[in-house]
């Protein structure tokens, strides 16, 4: 698919105001404008501290949750934390379990088995929890749609406090407290916390209740940042502060399990990219391949040798997950090609042999190829379960809402969702989802590369590297800065790593500039030495050169018009 470059338009008068008021470079002013940072919010974006985190009691029902937990602790009631099996849920359980244990609470946790129980609350699990003497269940990263399950919990004598961050329906479960910034009646000014961010707000509120030192809840920020970054929530506002401080804490983390994982990964840099592409897949692996309890055990472990063993187990599971993912991807591509499904506005595929824990990853890969909403379906214990992903700008949750008569259950976010249905529903669901997708095809008709600013040779200096680093941590709504550089002469072309990557030397007047296009080796014949090209890409220091030099990491290139 042809990619469209969208160079962000900026108001020159606003740029000058930002430069003057905040003492930043013109490039940084452009980066701030490209991210739609309001003028009065720039200081918080650049210099926000933990003191800028909002009062947790501003979240509706937080007072009710704190009061019920307080009663449970005083009466020595047994509390169960019920979580999701992804990184967000795992980290949520970890911090709430550790914190409540420190308070002296009698606490256990429950993680549903993805392959047997599926996502969210279920009555069999509630019966098991009740049989263990629990009287209070606190959900993390799930529960907001569990109306019938909450009703059942009430019937068997379980009090429910729901903490979640997923989209809400008009009807809410009949729980003692529902702590979710996305409630329709919420007045909390930051609505896009991750599930672990909501859990962090809960322990912050409990700390205030018991007049504890800030350190008693801030010490969990390394774990909170992992869940926040991994769940692909917007890394702005509170999420940005949480992630930045958490990543910094991670360098000297006191969490033994996290240290073991970092030792295994051995990252060059502890940043959001490392969390997303190295740490999160390993933490997610056990949940994707079965039960996620091993990841929770890792983050709660106190023995270094045991922690290292568990970390290695997660690494092995991640390798197994990769092999399964490859097999599903190949199978899905055959379905698409044989049935010409890519001609439709949506891609919905079904194979009862596919692994439910991995189909979401494959759906993401297919979105990157076809730039259309993708839902993969598989069968587990007689139930059809699905996982969906979609391009930026398309709301998967809204599209599934229009298909609610053709599913038995669904939930999630704009860009990712899960669902279940019966086998008989599949044909009608495919058509209903195609209709919903067709209505929205205008937002996904082309793949757009958002470009922050156009640069020239004079901009490639130490200051631009400083500005780029100031934007970190990168993530949703705060991406890696992308720049446009025009009219560069191609001086050298070659491919590296078995022709997989494209390496260029570009010339601007007398200056030579290195550029690399990862996985662009197949585009080598599109250009010749002497051609003039325009490029878009990120800018980084090439650590392989001595001394280090600035290079462009290509996202796309085109022949110059003039």
Instruction: Give CA–CA dist 399/435, Å, rounded.
Output: 9
Query: Looking at the chain, which residues constitute the CATH 2.40.50.460 domain(s)?
Result: 3-8+452-559
Query: Looking at the chain, which residues constitute the CATH 3.90.1640.30 domain(s)?
Result: 52-243
- 293-300 vs 87-102: helix axis angle to the nearest 10? 40
Q: What Rg do the C-alpha atoms of the chain give, in angstroms?
A: 25
Q: What is the pTM of this model?
A: 0.87
Q: What are phi and psi of 38, to 5 degrees?
A: -60, 150
Instruction: Give CA–CA dist 423/546, Å, rounded.
Output: 60
Residues 6+ apart with CB under 8 A from 229: 235, 243, 272, 275, 276, 280, 473, 475
On the CB side of 375, CA atoms within 13 Å amount to 28
Instruction: Give CA–CA dist 550/218, Å, rounded.
Output: 37
Nearest by Cα to 346 from 374, 327, 371: 374
Query: Looking at the chain, which residues constitute the CATH 3.10.310.30 domain(s)?
Result: 340-443
The residue whose two tokens read 């309001």 is: 38
CATH assignment of 52-243, among 3.40.50.300, 3.90.1640.30, 3.40.50.980, 3.20.20.70: 3.90.1640.30
Instruction: Give CA–CA dist 197/180, Å, rounded.
Output: 10
- Sign, Cα dihedral of 192, 442, 408, 147: positive
Strands 532-542 and 549-559: antiparallel
Residues 6+ apart with CB under 8 A from 276: 229, 230, 475
What does the pLDDT profile of the chain (562 residues) look like in tens digits?
A: 568 899 999 899 999 999 999 999 999 999 999 999 999 999 999 999 999 999 999 999 999 999 999 999 999 999 999 998 899 999 999 999 999 999 999 999 999 877 677 778 999 999 999 999 999 999 999 999 999 999 999 999 999 999 999 988 889 999 999 999 999 999 999 999 999 999 999 999 999 999 999 999 999 999 999 999 999 899 999 999 999 999 999 999 999 999 999 999 999 999 999 999 999 999 988 877 767 799 999 999 999 999 999 999 999 999 999 999 999 999 999 999 999 999 999 999 999 999 988 999 999 999 989 989 999 999 987 889 999 999 888 999 999 999 999 999 888 778 889 999 999 999 999 999 999 999 988 876 567 899 999 999 999 999 999 999 999 999 988 999 999 999 999 999 999 999 999 999 999 988 999 999 999 999 999 999 999 999 999 999 887 766 778 999 999 999 998 6
Helix spans in 290-402 (H): 293-300, 304-339, 359-370, 396-401
Angle at 421 between CA 340 and CA 361, to 5 degrees: 55
Q: Looking at domain 3-8+452-559, does it have CATH number 3.50.50.60?
A: no
Instruction: Give CA–CA dist 523/537, Å, rounded.
Output: 16
Nearest by Cα to 92 from 188, 220, 214: 220
Instruction: Give CA–CA dist 228/87, Å, rounded.
Output: 9
At the topology level, CATH places domain 340-443 in Diaminopimelate Epimerase; Chain A, domain 1 (3.10.310)
């Amino acid at each position: 698919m042809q990619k469209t470059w969208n160079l962000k338009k900026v108001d020159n008068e606003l740029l000058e105001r930002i430069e003057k008021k905040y003492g930043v470079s013109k490039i940084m002013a452009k980066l701030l404008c490209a991210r739609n940072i309001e003028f009065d919010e720039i200081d918080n974006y650049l210099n926000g501290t933990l003191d800028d985190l909002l009062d947790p009691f501003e979240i509706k029902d937080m007072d009710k949750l704190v009061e019920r937990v307080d009663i449970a602790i005083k009466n020595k009631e047994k509390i169960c934390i019920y979580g999701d099996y992804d990184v967000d849920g795992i980290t949520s359980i970890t911090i709430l379990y550790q914190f409540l244990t420190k308070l002296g609470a009698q606490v256990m946790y429950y993680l549903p088995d993805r392959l047997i129980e599926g996502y969210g609350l279920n009555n069999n699990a509630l019966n098991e929890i009740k049989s263990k003497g629990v009287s209070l269940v606190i959900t993390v990263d799930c529960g907001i749609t569990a109306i019938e399950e909450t009703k059942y919990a009430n019937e068997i004598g379980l009090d429910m406090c729901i903490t979640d961050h997923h989209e809400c329906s008009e009807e809410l479960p009949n729980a003692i407290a529902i702590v979710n910034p996305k409630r329709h009646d919420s007045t909390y000014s930051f609505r896009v916390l991750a599930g672990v961010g909501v859990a962090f707000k809960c322990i912050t509120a409990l700390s205030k209740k018991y007049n504890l030192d800030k350190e008693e809840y801030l010490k969990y920020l390394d774990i909170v940042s992992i869940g926040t970054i991994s769940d692909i929530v917007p890394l702005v506002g509170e999420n940005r502060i949480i992630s930045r401080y958490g990543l910094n804490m991670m360098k000297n983390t006191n969490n033994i399990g996290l240290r073991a994982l970092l030792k295994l990964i051995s990252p060059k840099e502890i940043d959001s990219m490392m969390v997303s592409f190295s740490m999160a897949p390993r933490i997610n692996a056990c949940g994707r391949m079965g039960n996620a309890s091993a990841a929770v055990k890792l983050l709660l472990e106190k023995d270094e040798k045991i922690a290292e063993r568990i970390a290695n187990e997660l690494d092995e599971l991640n390798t197994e997950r990769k092999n399964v993912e490859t097999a599903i991807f190949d199978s899905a591509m055959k379905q698409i090609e044989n049935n010409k499904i890519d001609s439709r506005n949506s891609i919905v595929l079904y194979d009862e042999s596919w692994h439910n824990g991995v189909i979401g990853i494959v759906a993401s890969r297919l979105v990157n190829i076809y730039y259309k909403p993708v839902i993969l379906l598989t069968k587990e214990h007689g139930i059809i379960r699905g996982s969906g992903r979609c391009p930026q700008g398309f709301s998967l949750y809204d599209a599934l809402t229009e298909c609610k008569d053709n599913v038995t259950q669904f939930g999630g976010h704009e860009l990712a969702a899960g669902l279940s249905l019966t086998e008989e529903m599949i044909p009608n669901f495919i058509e209903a989802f195609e209709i919903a997708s067709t209505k929205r095809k205008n937002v996904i008709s082309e793949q757009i590369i958002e470009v922050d600013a156009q640069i020239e040779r004079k901009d490639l200096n130490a200051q631009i590297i400083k500005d780029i680093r100031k934007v970190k941590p990168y993530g949703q709504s705060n991406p890696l800065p992308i720049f446009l550089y025009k009219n560069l002469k191609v001086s050298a072309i070659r491919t590296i790593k078995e022709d997989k990557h494209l390496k260029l030397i570009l010339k601007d007047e007398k200056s030579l500039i290195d550029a690399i296009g990862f996985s662009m080796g197949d585009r080598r014949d599109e250009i010749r030495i002497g051609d003039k090209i325009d490029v878009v890409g990120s800018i980084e220091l090439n650590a392989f050169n001595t001394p280090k030099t600035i290079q462009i990491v290509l996202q796309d290139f085109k022949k110059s018009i003039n």
